[in-house]
Amino acid sequence: MVIIALVYFNTTYSSGTTADGVLSASAMSDPHGVWKYGCDASPNAPVLVNVETKLGVNYNAGHWFHMSELIMTQHATLRKQGKLVNSSAIYVNFDKEDFIADLNAITRLIVYLGTAAPDINVKEMRFLSSKSLTQAFLHDHLQRSHNMLLDFSKMKTTEVEWIDMKESSVPTSARFTKPMIKRSDSPSAGGGKECVHATHNFKARWPTPQRGSWFPEDADVTTFRQKLRNACPRDKDMQKKHEKRTPYKLVIYQRDLSRKIMNEAEAIQLLRAALPADLWEISVLMHSSKRSPCELAHMLNDVDVLVTPHGFQSMLLLFLPRPALLFEVFPYRYWKRGYGPLSKEYGVIHDGVMSPGTKWDTRFFLSFVKTSFCMTSKFCRGYAREQDVLLTQQGVNRLVRSLQTDFFAHPAMQSSAHAQPVIAPLPKDRPFVHPRDFLYPLLSQEEKRPNCYDCG
């Protein structure tokens, strides 16, 4: 029997209970017919979980980090409370109209990872944005269990989409990528009626949980990685296509719109000069919002080093093995630990380097402030973040040192036949000087070291 869970993301409160929290008559059903309380629920009835979202911040449904901070952080809390959804189908309602239109393949996966139990095979997920359903879920209502009958035939096609996760009908490479809309009133086509069992309420935390406290226990990481394997089971064809051809593998993950590594060809040359070609495979992967997260999981599951500009795509560390190195290239005058604490608790090594300024205006104006000051100013941070980045010789040197001191020193690497590969002698660190940067002679000694990771 297919068990269904409805996960609801809510921020709206309305009247509908008496002073003692008991449901009033007006709160028992929806005048539009979308829902009503009181249906008969079997022991294997669908499960409804309520989640509130807006508590000081507004989340972008298409932003990998925003959705991770909102939903994925719930994994450890729900696991400890025994409230992870133990169902083969998960329904998710968002309180914001058209929210589901902004979801992408990765953020749909993130919803799954934050709510599903690790020992269940989820076969279907539905994403909803029904105003009528939003009004139904009051905080007081969900202090105790209720059964709710949902009538999907009363919802608009824009209010419902779903993804099929059955291995028999959807290949791993297509999971989470192609949502379908409600086509008829048949339950199998997104319509019809479902009786769900509303059990509990959870919500995003404010202030938001800091990276470094998302997986407080080892079991949190173990069960989370198990859910990822459940969501993206091994595909032999994809595994063969992306398998490692040398002992070690380095991937440069390029952003497609902004904050790109603008000297990609030069960066690859510097990396090839530092890492022996017979031991290291170096490749570039361009970001695509249409790519399946399960394909990314196969591409990155055996990667040893992931190099990328600082940004949302650093959440790809979730697909990296233990140990691996996430190496971020930060824009000039923009630096924070960011993904470092999350990487550490997840079993991934983190390091990075600050890029020189890549535009004449940022090189000029930001040369008058220190990084520590810029990071305290919302305007300065936003201005600095807009730049592309450069991976220079100094950045490659830092990456190699991190390999030597952290990656190859990891206990799991000591048994490797190539635990201490020969690395070419590192050229002397030198500041990057733009050929036309006439301002460079005017800068102080500190400012001539703009690509250090944590200076200023």
Mapped to the 3 state alphabet, what secondary structure does 14-45 carry?
Answer: CCCECCCCCECHHHCECCCCCEEECCCCCCCC
**Distance in angstroms between the alpha carbons of the first and the last residue of the chain:** 60
SS percent in the chain: helix, strand, coil, step 5 = 35, 20, 45
Q: Which residue, 355, 392, 358, is CA-closest to 268?
A: 392
**Dihedral (C-alpha) 34, 40, 41, 42: value to the nearest 10 degrees?**
-150
pLDDT of residue 130: 78
pLDDT of residue 87: 81
CA gap 407, 275 in Å, rounded: 14
CA gap 99, 60 in Å, rounded: 8
Token pair listed for 201? 């309420």
Q: Which residue, 263, 381, 287, 269, is CA-closest to 331?
A: 381
pLDDT of residue 301: 92
Contact (Cβ atoms closer than 8 angstroms) between residue 107 and residue 144 = no
CA gap 299, 324 in Å, rounded: 14
Contact (Cβ atoms closer than 8 angstroms) between residue 259 and residue 388 = yes
* Identity of the amino acid at 71: I
CA gap 431, 439 in Å, rounded: 14
- Cα-to-chain-centroid distance, residue 347: 16
Q: What is the DSSP string of 359-387?
A: SHHHHHHGGGS-HHHHTT-HHHHHHHHTS
Calculate the average pLDDT of the chain. 79
For the chain, residues with pLDDT lower than 70 are 1-28, 43, 50-57, 134-145, 181-191, 199-209, 211-212, 415-456
pTM: 0.84
Burial of residue 456 (CB within 10 Å: 0-12, 13-18, 19+) is: middle
Phi-psi group of 183: left, alpha or beta (phi > 0 → left; psi -120 to 50 → alpha; rest → beta): alpha
Q: Residue 116: CB partners within 8 Å, gap ≥ 6?
A: 84, 85, 87, 90, 122, 227, 230
pLDDT of residue 424: 59
CA gap 126, 124 in Å, rounded: 7
